[in-house]
Every structure is written in structure tokens, then in C-alpha cells.
Structure 1
Amino acid sequence: MPFDHNDHYHRLLLRHVPPRRGTALDVGCGTGRFARRLARLGMDVDAIDPSEEVIAEARARAGDLVPGPDTGGPRFRHADVTETELPAGHYDFISCLASIHHMPFDTVAGLRDALAPGGVLVILGCYPEKTALDLVWSLAAVPVNAAARAGVAASDRLRPSSAAVPATVRGRVKAPVKQPTMPLARIRGEAAVLLPGCRVRRLLFWRYLLVFRHSG
């Protein structure tokens, strides 16, 4: 299994799940790895993605899990969040991993309105290198990224063959990739208007973390 920058931050994102758990929405869920982690916490998870092929793969990877908070399975649905009417004030946790740059940034307003009081929106976003500081962070990430990839490769070589990912699952479908175009400074500015009180911080591996809590 290759080193995945988004998977690397799963634990960081899960720290922001509200104590009451409740309902969750994973936007741009891809093949469903993070959605399944939310479900294993006991959350009632809706997971959506605009790629029909990717959603089919997510359902296949979920195996025999039945959707629902007591059975460990998310509800995977083929849907484009920009064309979907989300229930107002419904979700306790909304996640968006490396997918907000696939849509207009003001989509976050709809995600904000779908949060229940006390609910949390977390965005693991990508940004292009535009400034000297961006380049410094990028250069810092390169050796760490190489070391992480080497570590994963070594772990794969040592793993017993019985522990390998089944061929029926391994590498079949991957979520669509799109290069980000919105600089981090602009992301901070628009987020401050659309998500008052949110926190945005730069992460290694060409990512940023945005956290917004619905104070209502």
C-alpha cells in the first residue's frame, strides 16, 4: 500500500469529532476509507462522491457491512454536493478530504448550514505553491515524503503474504485527481467570511487543515 498523504492525516481529523458522535457526512469520500473509520467510531455516516465508479468501489470495499451506526457501514451515495440539497442543521461532523478544490470554494457555505449546533466541519485541503513560504514548506516535505514512502515499501516487503490486500481490491479504482488552483492566502480570506471563527493551518505534504465549529 503506497504512502497516502490524505490517509496520513486521518488521526488528526478524527481528533475533531465531537464527543457525542452522532451523524456524519463525508464529502468527496472516494473509495470510502475515512468514512469507514467514522462508522467504526459508532457514527451514522453518509458518504457521497460525484464519481459513480468510485462509489461502486467504496461499496465493494465495505464488503458485508450493512449501513447504519450499529453495523459499522456508511451509506455510500453517488452525488455531487454542489447539486445536492443537504438537510439543514443535521450533521454533527462533516469532513472533506482533498476534494474541496474540485468544487467552488463557496460550497463550504452549504456544508456550514448542514451542521447541527456544536457540529464540526473539517477540511483537509490542497493548495498550489505560489509564495516563497509555500516553496519552503514544499522543500521541507520532500525528504520526509521520501522517507515515509521508503518506510511503507519496507513494511510491505516484511508483511506476510496472508496479510496483503486482496487482488480483488488492490489498485482497482482511485478517486479522480485535480490540481488545486486557489492559493492558501485566498483560502484563508474566503474562509474567514464564509466560516467565521474557523481556524486554518498549513500542514506538511502540501495540505492545509481548516476546522470550523458551529457555535449555534
Structure 2
Amino acid sequence: MAASRWNHNIHYHPLVLAAVPPGSRTALDVGCGEGLLTEELRAVVPSVTGIDPHGPTLELARSRAGGAGVEYVQGDVLTHPFEPKSFDVVASIAALHHMDTATGLARMRDLLRPGGVLAVVGLPRNRWPHDVPYAVAGVVAHRWHRWRNGGSTHTSAPTVWPPPDTFAQVRTTAERLLPGVRLRRHVLFRYSLMWTKPGRG
């Protein structure tokens, strides 16, 4: 589905999909929006749940659903009654900045089974002038990818701008809550956060 579309979030879907551990049976897509990543996760995980609080966007996801193995839930991941340790994969793209960073990461951590993977792609707030090189590189990369992919696709999901936390602030919070977390800053105004929960499922 996403193969014919492109934007900054879709660009990083492969990063999330590559993080799915072998043998995963269940996945949760936090802030699933129109369900593009949810459907792609279903290609590698038998049972995928997408959750989003925005009803109109979620209805669009349901209308595009590709078949069995995908469930869409309208709700807030922080309060929805998922059982702890329910998922082998918890993924989220461009949703963490819609919630308090520490609260969101702690909740997603608790929903993971031991050995499960948390894969987050987020938006950092630029810190001026420190982040000028990232901003310039992002503009150049955006223009190149937009030309290469025939323009970017917007979604109907609500936006939050600017993001509340800088990359340094996200790193500090993540390292406190998720020992051994791996963070990387990416050129298209995004960062990735990957963490494997200790233990065995």
C-alpha cells in the first residue's frame, strides 16, 4: 500500500520492519493513523493491532484493511486496557511527540513481552543554532526525495508542531527508561529509537 506513496514517515517504514524479531506473533502500531505501517507489519507478523485516537483517520485505515490478522482500535495507548507484556513488537512512527515522552515510552515498554522490540521513529524539536546542519541537510534531502518520488503524500491525521522535545531530551529520557536503547538521528527530520526488552518471551 505504501509503495505507491511517499512522505517522511513512510520513508522510514523499512527501518521499523527490519527491527521485527524473527518469530514475532503479535505487534502493536501506536498512532497508526491511516494504517499504512499496520498493514506492512501484517506481512511479517500474524496478528497486528493498530491504535489511534482520531476516529476519521482510523475509519480510513479500516476501509483500506487488507484482510485477517489486523485489528484497529480507537483509543489512547496510555489508557486503553491492553494487558502488560502483550506484544512481541511495539512500533510507532510520528506519534511519541503527541504524548509525554517519558509516559509514552514507559507504557510501550510495559506492553512488550521479554525479548520483544520497541521501534520508534520520532520528530525532534530543533535546537538553534546547534541543529542548523541537520535542518539544512533535511531540506536538501526532502527536495531530492520529493523529486525522486513524485511529491510527498499528506495524511488526514492531526499534527502537533513543534515537537516538544529536542533529540538530546529524548535521548536522556530514553536512556533512563530503556537501558541499552539505541538512538540515531536521521536526515529527514526524524530520529529512530530501538530497544530490545531483556529476557525471553
TM superposition score normalised by structure 2? 0.90
Which residue among 85, 95, 98 is the counterpart of 1:99?
95
Equivalence for 1:46: 49
Cα separation, 2, equivalents of 1:91 and 1:117: 9
Change (3 A) 1:42 1:122: closer
Equivalence for 1:139: 136
Cα separation, 1, equivalents of 2:192 and 2:20: 14
Cα separation, 1, equivalents of 2:5 and 2:160: 19
* 1:129-177 deviation digits (Å, cap 9, x = unpaired): 11434220110121221111112228x9xxxxxxxxxxxxx97x61111
TM superposition score normalised by structure 1? 0.84
Q: Which amino acid aligns with 1:78?
A: Q
After superposing on structure 2, the runs of 4+ consecutive aligned residues of structure 1 that deviate more than 3 Å are none
> What are the equivalent positions in structure 2 for 1:1-216 lying under 5 Å apart?
3-62=6-65, 65-68=66-69, 74-105=70-101, 106-153=103-150, 174-179=156-161, 180-216=163-199
Structure 1 gaps of 5+ residues are 69-73, 157-169
Change (3 A) 1:150 1:78: same
Q: Which amino acid aligns with 1:151?
A: R
Change (3 A) 1:149 1:17: same
Distance apart, 1:2 and its partner CA:
6.0
SS in 2 for 1:148: helix
CA-based RMSD: 1.9
Structure 2 gaps of 5+ residues are none
Distance apart, 1:82 and its partner CA:
1.8
Task: State which drifts further: 105-114 or 47-56.
Answer: 105-114
Aligned-residue sequence identity (percent) comes to 35
Cα separation, 1, equivalents of 2:68 and 2:75: 17
Q: Which amino acid aligns with 1:7?
A: I
Q: Which amino acid aligns with 1:109?
A: A
Cα separation, 1, equivalents of 2:130 and 2:81: 38
